[in-house]
Structures are given as C-alpha cells and as structure tokens.
C-alpha cells in the first residue's frame, strides 16, 4: 500500500546531533521543517506527549563533552557517522512540545513542534534550512532571550522572514495605530497578546514587537478567504517607533 505524505511543509534531511537541557540526554535530529523536527533519542524512554522540552542542535555535527556520563546507544553507528572532536560552535537552542511518538530504523523517535528559539541563534537556523523564495514566510514560533527578559511571560510567538525590504514595509501598518495581518492557521482569540519577530532580508538583525489580536480570520468558518490574525501593536511608544525606524533604516513613523 502506498503511503501518502500528509505533511504541509517540506522536510529537510538533518542528521545533526542534539542535547537536551538536562545536559546528559543526546539524540539525532533526523529531519526538520519550518515548524518542527523528528528526533531519535538515545535512551529507551520517550518524553511524554504534550510535555515541553528544550534542546540544542549542533549544526557542525560536534557534541561538547558531557558533564556526567550515562549509559548511551552508539547513535553514530546507526547513522554511519564517524566520531569527531566535540566543539560548541554553530549551536541552535530550541524550545518545543512533544506531539507524537514513533519508530525510526528500529529506534525510539519523537515528533516535536517548535515553540521558541533563542534570538541569537535564529539566523543560523534559517540559513541551515535555506532561504525563502516567498515574499514573506511565517514561522509559527517566537524568539526569546532569557538573559534579557528572564521574567517575561512567553506569549504565543511568530517569526516572519522577508525576501525584500519592500515586503517589510507592506507588512507594517501605514500608521502606528493601524493593523497588520499574519497569515497563519494558528488559532488565537481577540485581545490575545502575541510576540512577533521580523527577520531583516539582508542583514543579521531582528525586530521584536508585541502585538494584540483584533480579529481571527478562519476560512473554514467562511469568515475570510485567508486564515490569519489581524493584529495591532500592543502599545505604541517612542521606543517602538525608534526601533522600527532603525530596523528599516528609514523614518516611516514620527515619534511624539
């Protein structure tokens, strides 16, 4: 019987080593997409479905030494990877939710949905996945830096990368009091706060803004031709206006 691939987004072969936040559990990222990944784990115990995990992906293929030893499965033999000297370069830190359990080549595997990514690591992750060919691409996870905002509540997040600066200007409202639209199937409710990270098309810089949902468009209910969230800025401050103008390198909003 032919198996039909129902995945909405393309998967990229990864085969990159990972380490969970306990700093002792390792695994292999088998593949990745714009919103999640399949992880083979070294232990015989799954992380529970619905549980939240944090892990680091080492894009150079090298794991750093463990702080303490545990019984391990030789994952390098499974994937025909030869051992290499461990380094800590090209690390990407990701927070995710376990959404399924499965088997991969006889080993325990987990499907993860990305929830959050360290802001300093976002650019290297996007480079790893490849550049978008669309005018804008919405990634259904936010970015954060606990060192900068250790007590900040993690509202739902979106990361949007653009092909060209003109599309950034099209995305932003004409006036600070206006609204912007995020195409997404991620359901939300009116007055819900969200975090939005805009990725500069040609420079390694990000713009982080807080938004608030005004309307939820859902074509399944016949309310719109597009799924998405109509949002406004959660608060309009001179700091926000300065950050937007600096990101664009153009004055589109005038501070009060």
Lowest-confidence range among 113-122, 130-139, 188-197? Answer: 130-139
Per-chain mean pLDDT for the chain: 83
pLDDT tens digit sequence for 67-79: 654 444 455 444 4
| Confidence (pLDDT) at 110 | 93
pLDDT at 174: 94
Beta-bridged to residue 232, according to DSSP, are: 179, 212
The answer to whether the beta carbons of residues 41 and 72 sit under 8 Å apart is no
> What are the sequence ranges of the domains in the chain?
12-118, 131-248
228, 184 in Cβ contact below 8 A? yes
**Average pLDDT, integer, range 149-161:** 75
CATH class, range 131-248: mainly beta
Q: Is the pLDDT of residue 46 over 50?
A: yes
**CB distance 230 to 184 below 8 Å:** no
- Checking if the pLDDT of 179 tops 50, the result is yes
Identical topology for domains 12-118 and 131-248? yes
Mean pLDDT along residues 148-155: 62
- Average of pLDDT values for 175-194? 92
Q: Which residue has the higher pLDDT, 158 or 85?
A: 158
Confidence of residue 44 (pLDDT cuts 50, 70, 90): low
Give the pLDDT score at 63. Answer: 87
Task: Answer with the residue of higher pLDDT: 254 or 147.
Answer: 254
**Range with lowest mean pLDDT among 45-59, 98-112, 143-157:** 143-157
224 — pLDDT class (breaks 50, 70, 90):
low
Overall average pLDDT of the 154-158 stretch = 83
Nearest to 249 by CA among 209, 211, 210, 201: 201
Give mean pLDDT, residues 37-49: 84
Q: Is 121 helix (H, G, I), strand (E, B) or coil?
A: helix
To the question of domain 12-118 being in CATH 2.40.10, the answer is yes
* 87 pLDDT tier (thresholds 50, 70, 90): very low
Q: Give the end-to-end CA distance of the chain in Å, rounded to a whole number.
A: 65
In terms of average pLDDT, the best of 71-80, 137-146, 153-162, 187-196 is: 187-196
For residue 235, the Cα-to-chain-centroid distance in whole angstroms is 24
SS3 129: helix
Mean pLDDT of 231-256: 94
- Grade residue 89 by pLDDT with cuts at 50, 70 and 90: low
């Amino acid at each position: 019987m032919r198996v039909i691939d129902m995945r909405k987004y393309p998967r990229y072969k990864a085969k990159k080593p990972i380490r969970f936040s306990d700093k002792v559990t390792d695994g292999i990222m088998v593949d990745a997409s714009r919103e999640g990944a399949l992880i083979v784990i070294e232990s015989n115990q799954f992380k529970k479905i619905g549980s939240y995990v944090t892990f680091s992906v080492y894009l150079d293929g090298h794991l750093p030494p463990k702080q303490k030893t545990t019984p391990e499965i030789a994952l390098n033999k499974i994937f025909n990877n030869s051992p290499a000297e461990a380094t800590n370069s090209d690390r990407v830190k990701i927070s995710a939710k376990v959404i399924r359990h499965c088997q991969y080549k006889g080993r325990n595997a987990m499907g993860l949905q990305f929830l959050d990514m360290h802001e300093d690591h976002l650019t290297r992750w996007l480079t790893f996945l490849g550049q978008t060919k669309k005018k804008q691409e919405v990634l259904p996870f936010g970015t954060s830096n606990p060192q900068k905002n250790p007590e900040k509540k993690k509202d739902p997040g979106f990361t949007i990368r653009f092909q060209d600066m003109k599309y950034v200007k099209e995305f932003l409202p004409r006036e600070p009091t206006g609204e912007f639209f995020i195409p997404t199937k991620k359901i939300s409710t009116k007055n819900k706060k969200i975090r939005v990270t805009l990725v500069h098309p040609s420079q390694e810089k990000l713009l982080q803004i807080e938004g608030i949902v005004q309307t939820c468009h859902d074509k399944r209910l016949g309310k719109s031709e597009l799924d998405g969230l109509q949002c406004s800025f959660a608060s309009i401050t001179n700091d926000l206006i300065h950050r937007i103008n600096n990101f664009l390198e153009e004055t589109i909003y005038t501070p009060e």
